[in-house]
Each structure stands twice: as C-alpha cells, then as structure tokens.
Amino acid sequence: MKLILVRHGETIWNQEKKIQGSTDTALSEAGRAQAERLSLSLKNETFDAIVTSPLKRAYDTAQAIARYHDITPRVEKDLRELNAGAFEGLSFPEIKIRFPDFIDQWMLDRGSVVMPQGESLQGLQNRVWPVIQKIMATAQNALVVSHSFVIITILCKIQNLSLSQSSHLRLGVASKTCLEVNNGATTFLALNDTSHLNDT
C-alpha cells in the first residue's frame, strides 16, 4: 500500500514558536495558502481513505486536500497531537526557565518522560499506532493528516527506532512523507517533502 503522512499547515502559534499540543488552534492565512499548495501537489494521487486528526488545523488541511478527491475525510480522535499539558501556549525558552528539570529529563529519555499534566511520546505512540495499523489493513492508498509528534512516532514505529532516537526527525508545516508498505517492508518515497511550498 501507499501511505502519505501530512503535517497540517501553519498556525499563528507556529509563527510565534509556541507549543500547541492538543490546543485546538486554527490555520493562519499563510497556513491556508500552504494547505492549498499541498492539496494541488496531491491532486493526481488516488486515495481509498483520507483520515485526519480532529483538531482544526489538521481537519481543515484534510478538507483542502479532499476537495480534489471524492472522499470525505474520516476523523480519528487518537490522531490528535501530543498532549503537552502545562507547556501548551509556551515557547521553548519559557519552558527552559519554568521547567529546567524537565528539559534535563527530556534530553535523557524523550520516549517515556511525561509532560507535566500531559502525556509521553510513548503514550502518544501507543494510542496512534493502532489507528495506523487499521488504516494499513483496510486501504490500498491512504492519506493521514496529523501533527509533528504524531507523525514522528509513526515513523519511529515503522523503522523500529526507539523514541529516544526521534530527535533527528523534523517535519515542516504542510509537509508530506510518502511510504510504500509491502509485506512488512517499508520504502520511503519522500520524507518531509515541502517542495510544493517553494513559491510561497
């Protein structure tokens, strides 16, 4: 099967470099333009399913893509972003000042350390992966619209990487990562592709 993993377009909090987590932020004007560029780049793809996080920034990106396909996006609540708890709405410099001990823990063990009042990357992966397994079992070609940490945990699982190795993975807004999965073997066709945004 072919699986395309899409990160939502930009929000105001992305511009301001604030942690969004499960906060339901909307696409900015730039983000809506990015979603349109992204949707045009996927116009000629064939999908059996378009599956999306329920958060507005992802859902509206999925809707933009779905306009060119005769498919209604299916919402999966477990594709929502990592619950960042007390960090939501803060910038990284603010987190370093307010939660210095957490940063030390995060650097040592990204996978299991739990966000204050939130969840861990391992907890996120545990709720996301069954959704992906179901999609791969029921579709020949599927598009998933979600969030940075969600997609990173999926990529770690597919590659049998520890979540502690996730620090080298970066996903731009409105990016697409394309995979072919056959008999348990995965081939990357594109990783963090944002070439469709070059003119924006």
Catalytic positions are: 8, 81
| Beta carbons of 149 and 7 less than 8 angstroms apart | no
Q: In whole angstroms, what is the distance from residue 82 CA to residue 151 CA?
A: 11
Query: Hey, what are 146's tokens?
Result: 């979600």
Phi/psi at 165 (5° precision): -95, 5
Rg (CA), the chain: 16
| Beta carbons of 136 and 154 less than 8 angstroms apart | no
